[in-house]
């Protein structure tokens, strides 16, 4: 039986321009390609979790417009429960403008629209779904009041909660006490700790500092791998080597796949490796939700990566 994952978060339409490099402030750079695709951190995570094998319920708001209707059709194609995706007639659907350089790195600006109106009332309507979930997955592209209430409901019912603190902002002790697992990337960890992360050792120190405020931390460092910290202990999980073309949704795919693997009972390092494989596959494709791999793709990728390399004949 598939494990139940509830994702409460944002839904956007991404408008992506590929350029030779990301422009500096005040600079105009001619683009090479344009892509419009479904995105938003919450929606990306929901889609990633569904494709990784989870039974996903999404709690969100979209506008009563073309983008909102397209988003709903996409969720249904991935068999995501949209009973708690509200249609807002007072705000447009969220939009993200994304510039991607040839190295795969990106710069993103978001107009939240209906996402900013996801309220505690929306969360209360989904209370039974949250209380019966195996994992609750949250991010910070929706109001903190909604995030905090969802985490509190999950904590009262013994539901494991993953918070991806993106975009990074100050987090209260009251919220963090209800979080089972915090999953920042390097830039988010720097904002949350004030520590510069230049290498693996810096990452370990930052993860340990964050672990003092919540139970467990996974700090993702892209191609440099990830650090798991709990109490005073750390564990390093190396990254998979791939050629990146677009890193836009890598963190979202990681979190969606991580939620599924943990819900299925995997130990944290094993779940982190499964999630890292999903994220590695995602950066080899363009777009946010279009890049999320299937469960079969993830398992095959891990199997190929685990095979011993043949020695060249002399």
CATH of residue 144: 3.40.1190.20
How many whole angstroms separate alpha carbon 257 and alpha carbon 53? 8
Query: Comparing C-alpha atoms, which of 170, 303, 185, 177 is closest to residue 250?
Result: 185
**Domain tally, the chain:** 1
Q: How far is CA 131 from the centre of its chain?
A: 21
By annotation, the residues acting in catalysis are 252
Q: In the structure, what pLDDT confidence band is assigned to residue 60 with cuts at 50, 70 and 90?
A: very high
Q: Is residue 111 part of a domain?
A: yes
Query: Comparing C-alpha atoms, which of 86, 38, 83 is closest to residue 57?
Result: 83
In this model, does residue 165 exceed pLDDT 90? yes
Q: Is residue 314 part of a domain?
A: no
Query: Comparing C-alpha atoms, which of 271, 221, 287, 219 is closest to residue 52?
Result: 271
- Cβ proximity of 181 and 163 under 8 Å: yes
Here the tokens at position 237 are 């999980």
Q: What is the mean pLDDT of residues 42-56?
A: 98
Element (H or E) spanning 253, and its range?
helix 250-263
Q: What is the mean pLDDT of residues 271-292?
A: 93
Single pTM value for the model: 0.91
How many whole angstroms separate alpha carbon 119 and alpha carbon 145? 7
pLDDT of residue 311: 58
Q: Is residue 312 part of a domain?
A: no
In this model, does residue 313 exceed pLDDT 60? no
Q: Is residue 310 part of a domain?
A: no
| Full domain range(s) for residue 42 | 4-305
Q: Is residue 147 part of a domain?
A: yes
How many whole angstroms separate alpha carbon 282 and alpha carbon 244? 9
How many whole angstroms separate alpha carbon 197 and alpha carbon 45? 25
Q: What is the mean pLDDT of residues 33-58?
A: 95
CB 303: neighbour CB atoms within 10 A? Answer: 10
Instruction: Convert the pLDDT of each residue in 193-244 to its tens digit.
Output: 999 999 999 999 999 999 999 999 999 998 899 999 998 999 999 999 999 8
Q: How far is CA 219 from the centre of its chain?
A: 13
């Amino acid at each position: 039986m598939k494990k139940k994952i509830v994702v409460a978060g944002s839904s956007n339409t991404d408008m992506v321009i590929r350029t030779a490099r990301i422009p500096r402030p005040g600079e105009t750079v001619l683009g090479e390609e344009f892509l419009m695709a479904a995105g938003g951190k919450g929606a990306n995570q929901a889609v990633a979790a569904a494709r990784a094998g989870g039974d996903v319920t999404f709690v969100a708001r979209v506008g009563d417009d073309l983008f909102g209707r397209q988003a709903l059709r996409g969720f249904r194609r991935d068999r995501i429960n949209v009973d708690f995706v509200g249609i807002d007639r007072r705000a447009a659907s969220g939009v993200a403008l994304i510039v991607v350089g040839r190295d795969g790195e990106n710069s993103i600006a978001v107009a939240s629209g209906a996402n900013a109106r996801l309220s505690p009332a929306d969360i209360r309507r989904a209370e039974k779904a949250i209380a019966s979930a195996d994992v609750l997955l949250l991010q910070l592209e929706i109001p903190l009041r909604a995030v905090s209430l969802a985490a509190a409901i999950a904590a009262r019912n013994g539901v494991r909660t993953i918070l991806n603190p993106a975009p990074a902002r100050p987090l209260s002790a009251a919220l963090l006490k209800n979080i089972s697992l915090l999953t920042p990337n390097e830039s988010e960890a720097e904002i949350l700790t004030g520590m510069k992360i230049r290498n693996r050792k810096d990452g370990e120190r930052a993860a340990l500092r964050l672990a003092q405020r919540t139970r467990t931390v996974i700090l993702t460092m892209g191609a440099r791998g990830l650090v798991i910290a709990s109490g005073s202990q750390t564990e390093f999980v190396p990254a998979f080597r791939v050629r990146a073309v677009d890193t836009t949704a890598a963190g979202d795919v990681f979190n969606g796949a991580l939620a599924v693997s943990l819900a299925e009972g995997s130990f944290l390092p094993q779940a982190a490796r499964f999630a890292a494989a999903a994220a590695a596959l995602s950066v080899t494709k363009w777009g946010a939700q279009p890049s999320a791999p299937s469960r079969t793709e993830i398992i095959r990728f891990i199997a190929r990566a685990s095979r011993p390399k043949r020695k060249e004949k002399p």
